[in-house]
Structure 1
Amino acid sequence: METIKSFLFIALELTVLFFVITFLLSALQAYIPYKKIEHYLGKKNKWIGVLAALLFAFITPFCSCSTIPIVVNMLRKNMPFSIVMIFLFASPVLDPTILTLMGVILGWKVAIIYTLITSIFSVLIGFMLSKLGFDRYVKNVMMTGYEEETKTFNWKGAWKETMALMRSVYPYLIIGAAIGAVIHGLVPTAWVSEWLGEEAWWIVPIAAVIGIPLYIRLSSMIPISQVFIMKGMALGPVMAMMISSAGASLPEVILLKSIFQKQLVIAFVFSVITMATLSGFIFYLV
């Protein structure tokens, strides 16, 4: 009975928050100058390109798989390899809807630190891969089916986008709520505190590695991590799994193999695991 009550409470809270946040962000999409941002992505001044890549990553609420067509389009337009990589790493982990949910549920301090850490690591990894010459491992691919969309503001359009996002993402929220409720009702708090608490530093790299094949979306991880943290689990492993599962899901790695050679795919996966692990340790400190 306690598990059912917990599920209903978590599901209701997430439903209201997700719907309101998604609708408002969908309405604001019409005011975002996508053409100008794309123009700045190709600028010779690398720092302007970096800021444009991070901004573009933040305002495009894509999962890791749907980021790939945009990456291919950027490569076709001969945008700097480092800028393309920054966008590839940052886009799936900087979802505006999920970041807002994270702020409301896990606290704004956590959301802000998460945003800063993932942004900084995305930039560092992007430049490092470029410096090491990994651009030579990009296949000569042509993309089909991608069309740039011009958005105009209207409430009906915002409603349609909200419903579309609800259909694609909302089930994962409910799955996360269900798993969270089961954990809340069946997993002993003392066990979580003892084995996954502050002293269990070793769980951070394990969580980072486990997150990739599990493909736990950020939307599912929010309610799960809320329950784990309530039971005493350290924030470090929670964030490590969250970052790795969002940044390098198994379906995305398979898609990347079609545009990157295996050397770059391996470097990408290793970079995400490293980013997730180091981020987890940083959360221990803060």
Structure 2
Amino acid sequence: MNEWATMLSDASNMFVFLAVELSVLFLIISAGVALARQKFSNAKIQQVLGQRQGKGYLIATALGSLTPFCSCSTIPMLRGLLSAKAGFGPTLTFLFVSPLLNPIIVGLMWVSFGWQITLTYIVIAAGVSLLASLLLDKLGFERYVIKAKTSGTACNKAAAVAMPTQETLVTKSACCTAAPVIEEIPAAKSSCCNVTKPVSSCSTASTHNDQGKAQAANTPLNYRQASLDAWTQFKEVLPFLALGVLLGSVIYGFVPAEWIAKHAGSDNPFAVPLSAVIGIPLYIRAEAVIPLAASLLGKGMGVGAVMALIIGSAGASLTEVILLKSMFKTPMIVAFLTVILGMAIMMGYLVTFFF
């Protein structure tokens, strides 16, 4: 009875901790993204992470490696990139890399496992993320992105949310296509871009592009609007967040570390894939799972299984999958989990064979 009471207490404490931590992180990051969106237009984001294909992937990798996000706190940035219609491939690269690499994780791993395993981890995490993103982009998985719900004039609302502090003249560039196709728009159909007379669909936007950039740079940040945007997004994902935190807390409280070490020891040929699968529902940040993994290694868990557990638990979680379900259709969710599991298993076997 006392043991069950202890496990229930651990699960309850983890639920409160995760609920508070993730809620605060989500609101802060969402507000930060909203502030950044006030300064950087959709066109600029698309240019950096979309049109400049090679550089876009590298920038996304660097951005993900420098941001101290866990698998769930990556979601607000991901939503911002998707709403800005940034390049799909670079956006996925950020999604894969962000929870797995940052200076804190690299430092902890270096101290715990040495530079060789750490370097292998960096190469696998960044390399697989890049290759998987390129492949999913080429296969057209962008079609599995769930379109944001809008009401009224969809284009006006999207432009207003994306750039709330810019004038109508600037938001026109978000309504028009990127291709330099010139066509006359009748006045009756000009509501998307708030035009009251026939104009070229994109020529006017390109004419005022420099003016829009200058105005965006000089416009003071609207913190109240950013807070409102963050709160709106938080309310939308709250049911998903609560369910994911509940599941993760139950697993944390009622699945002891000793059980994991027993079933994923170095003598078990299936220890690596088993650890990768177990890691996903164990919602643990990489910064936290590395010390845990070091203790599991001391209890007899194989080093390959430990590496698979780190990538599986840090790269994905039930909470993140539930949140992603609000943005992606099932095939993309399956592809995401396949990449994380494949990365974890590859890392585990490489470390087992070479170290």
TM-score (norm 1): 0.66
2:346 and 2:88 map into 1 onto residues whose CA distance is: 24
Q: CA deviation at 1:240?
A: 0.6
2:264 and 2:280 map into 1 onto residues whose CA distance is: 22
Match of 1:8 in 2: none
Q: CA 1:281–1:40 in 2, change beyond 3 Å: closer, same or farther?
A: farther
Q: CA deviation at 1:195?
A: 6.7
Q: Say whether residues 1:256 and 2:324 are aligned partners.
A: yes
Kept in 1, the 8 Å contact 2:49–2:60? The answer is no
Q: CA 1:47–1:225 in 2, change beyond 3 Å: closer, same or farther?
A: same
Kept in 1, the 8 Å contact 2:315–2:340? The answer is yes
Kept in 2, the 8 Å contact 1:215–1:246? The answer is yes
Q: Whose radius of gyration is greater, 1 or 2?
A: 2
Match of 2:81 in 1: 74
Q: CA 1:145–1:228 in 2, change beyond 3 Å: closer, same or farther?
A: farther
Q: CA 1:141–1:43 in 2, change beyond 3 Å: closer, same or farther?
A: closer
Q: CA deviation at 1:194?
A: 11
Kept in 2, the 8 Å contact 1:53–1:87? The answer is yes
Match for 1:124 among 116, 123, 131? Answer: 131
1:209 and 1:224 map into 2 onto residues whose CA distance is: 17
The CA deviation string for residues 159-180 of structure 1, in whole angstroms up to 9 with x for no partner, is: xxxxxxxxxxxxxxxxxxxx9x
Secondary structure class of the residue paired with 1:215 = coil
Q: CA deviation at 1:112?
A: 1.6
Match of 2:344 in 1: 276
The CA deviation string for residues 30-83 of structure 1, in whole angstroms up to 9 with x for no partner, is: xxxx98x96874253422112111100011101111111111211222221111
Report the residue type matching 2:73 in the other structure: S
Match for 1:233 among 301, 305, 308? Answer: 301
Match of 1:205 in 2: 273
Q: Say whether residues 1:137 and 2:206 are aligned partners.
A: no
Q: CA deviation at 1:208?
A: 0.6
Structure 2: runs of 5 or more not aligned: 1-38, 150-157, 165-252
Secondary structure class of the residue paired with 2:281 = helix
Match of 1:224 in 2: 292
Match of 2:23 in 1: none
Secondary structure class of the residue paired with 1:213 = coil
1:141 and 1:49 map into 2 onto residues whose CA distance is: 23
Percent identity over the alignment is: 38
TM-score (norm 2): 0.54
The equivalences for 1:1-286 within 5 A come to: 41-42=48-49, 44-141=51-148, 196-197=265-266, 199-286=267-354
Report the residue type matching 1:196 in the other structure: G
Kept in 1, the 8 Å contact 2:264–2:275? The answer is no
The CA deviation string for residues 193-224 of structure 1, in whole angstroms up to 9 with x for no partner, is: 99712x43311111111111121322222122
Secondary structure class of the residue paired with 1:140 = coil
Structure 1: runs of 5 or more not aligned: 1-33, 148-178
Q: CA deviation at 1:124?
A: 1.2
Secondary structure class of the residue paired with 2:287 = helix
Q: CA 1:205–1:74 in 2, change beyond 3 Å: closer, same or farther?
A: same
Q: CA 1:227–1:133 in 2, change beyond 3 Å: closer, same or farther?
A: same
Secondary structure class of the residue paired with 2:118 = helix
